[in-house]
Structure 1
Amino acid sequence: MQRSMPADRDIQKDGHFVASLGKAMTLLEAFAPERSRMGLTELSAATGLDRSSVQRLVTTFTRLGYLDKDPTTRRYSPSIRMTELANAYFWSQELVHTAMPKLIDLHQSLGETINFSRIDGPDIVYIVRLPSARTSFGASIVGRRVPALNTSSGRVMLSRLGAETRRRCVEEWPMRRFTPATVMDRGAVSALVEAAAETGYSIAENEVQMNELGVAVAVGRDPQTGGAIHCSVSGTAWTRERLEAEIIPPLLDAANGVG
């Protein structure tokens, strides 16, 4: 998901902000699943930068090794070196280190998809993904962003914040329809968040993918820096009642073990 550049007035207030670097990062962030390879014209349209600026930036990133250029199509794509940035992030996150053994145990014992995510702005970002045999490629990629209000992980993490913060986020954060069953009514989403605050878990049914049940529990002592463990199962093989009986207890135990 592309992030926009800060407003000019915000930049002017901060004398330490490097505008040229901000533009460079806007270019890198323009690449997305639906825009994995782009030429200069496409990059200019995606970023709002003029073509000459885009040319200088892609030349710099290509020479530094962060972009690859196809010699035939002359399109650019992120290079394998980009993974080094993600690698540095993972090594710096103690909560991820602590959670990983619990995630592996859950994956092995349940035999279902296990994810670990965090909130970043109004989205959740998948940090760890341990897929099952039925998991699609797109649902197995680390770094994928999804609107927090449309996911069980986002709702359970949001439920740990103060009541006024929860209310404001539900009112203001963007949502996206993934399936006909995606809950788009903000009153209904608010009720789901409040239910998660009561129970300690949140369930989503057919909301991001049809024939999928997902349940999430929050982890970490600090709700601002914590995360969520999420398990998704086939809606054709599992019922909500079975999910509550067989999946939620081990997820809650794992969350308590992480701390």
Structure 2
Amino acid sequence: MKDHDDLRRVREEDPYFAGTLAKGLLILQTFVSDPRAHANSEFAAKLGLSRPTVSRLCKSLRALGFLDHDERLDRYFIGPAAVALGYPYVINTPMLATLRPAMQELADRIEGAVSVGVTMDLDVVYLETCSHEEGTLKRPGVGAVRGIVETAMGRAWLAQLDADERRTFLARTERERPEEHARCSEGVRESLAQYARRGFSVNLGDAGFGVLAVGVAARLRYGPRRLLFNCAVPGFRTRKTQLLESIGPQLVQLVGAADRQSGLR
């Protein structure tokens, strides 16, 4: 997340950059990593903004429905307009209506979860998840955010970058999220080394959620972003060999079918 100093530098480099708008959006973005209610003082401390500035921005966002305010607690919650704003993005995801039955079928077959998402800065945003009804994997749901290096789908995206872009991205992750980078670096290296041969990336639980996963980057795009697919199963009842020999190839087959249906091969 950027702070006030970052915004100032961007504004100096680009005179058309709307700093006030960016500050308001950063307040909303605070809830992505910390969804609880926040006081003005917390926004000010996290973003490096003055209390009066935060107060004005929060009142404006509240008037538009993007924030709700609890008078008793004197804290702000994310508002319903923020949910409504994301809805058009989700419903316009290419091929999603066509793919949903196949995603659900695969989730039931492996007793896990199949998700689709896109990258956003250092993260992936989940746009849909189909879960096995009797499984334990009900999350992440629509709008959930996870680090790119933490997820199999994020690692699949990394595998599509050229070497220079990948080095730049990983250096930034190491600089801005050192703990996440250290925890996942070995898994990222393994996935990148094997992606071309396997056709999918893997996560063997190093994200810390007790979940094993495979990921595939589709050729299919949503605007400038590739659609990314993730297939996750509980680590306590899935062997690595099953992940590599069965689940991974099944996800590759699903994504390949999606690419072909969209006219991409």
Which TM bucket (shorter chain)?
0.7 to 0.9
- 2:252 is aligned to 252
Distance in 1 separating the partners of 2:98 and 2:163: 29
Distance in 1 separating the partners of 2:188 and 2:108: 32
Structure 1 residue 102 displacement after superposition = 3.1
Distance in 2 separating the partners of 1:77 and 1:131: 28
- 2:189 is aligned to 190
- 1:41 is aligned to 41
Structure 1 pair 172–190 and aligned structure 2 pair: CA distance change class (3 A) = farther
The 3-state SS of whatever aligns with 2:31 is coil
Q: Please, what TM-score do these two structures have when normalized by structure 1?
A: 0.85
Structure 1 residue 98 displacement after superposition = 5.0
Is 1:77 the counterpart of 2:77 in the alignment? yes
**Superposed CA offset, 1:195-231 (max 9, x none):** 1133211111121235321111221246962122111
Q: Structure 1: which 5+ runs fail to align?
A: none
After the TM superposition, list the runs of 4 or more consecutive aligned residues in structure 1 that deviate by more than 6 angstroms.
Answer: none
The 3-state SS of whatever aligns with 1:130 is strand
Structure 1 residue 4 displacement after superposition = 4.1
- Residue 73 of structure 1 aligns with an amino acid whose one-letter code is L
Q: Structure 2: which 5+ runs fail to align?
A: 260-265
Distance in 2 separating the partners of 1:113 and 1:176: 28
Q: Please, what TM-score do these two structures have when normalized by structure 2?
A: 0.83
Distance in 1 separating the partners of 2:225 and 2:206: 25
Number of residue pairs aligned between Structure 1 and Structure 2: 252
The 3-state SS of whatever aligns with 2:61 is helix
Q: Tell me the percent identity.
A: 22
Structure 1 residue 165 displacement after superposition = 2.3
Structure 1 pair 4–44 and aligned structure 2 pair: CA distance change class (3 A) = closer
Distance in 1 separating the partners of 2:123 and 2:95: 19
**Superposed CA offset, 1:38-89 (max 9, x none):** 1111121122111111111111111221111112111110112211111021
Distance in 2 separating the partners of 1:125 and 1:196: 21
RMSD, matched Cα: 2.6
Distance in 1 separating the partners of 2:12 and 2:242: 56
Q: Larger helix proportion, structure 1 or 2? A: 2
Structure 1 residue 251 displacement after superposition = 0.8
**Superposed CA offset, 1:134-189 (max 9, x none):** 136xx3332232221232211111112223323333333345647xx94335xx63
**Superposed CA offset, 1:88-120 (max 9, x none):** 212333254554343233223333111112222
Residues 131 and 140 in structure 1, CA contact (< 8 A), matched pair in contact too: no
Distance in 1 separating the partners of 2:140 and 2:150: 18
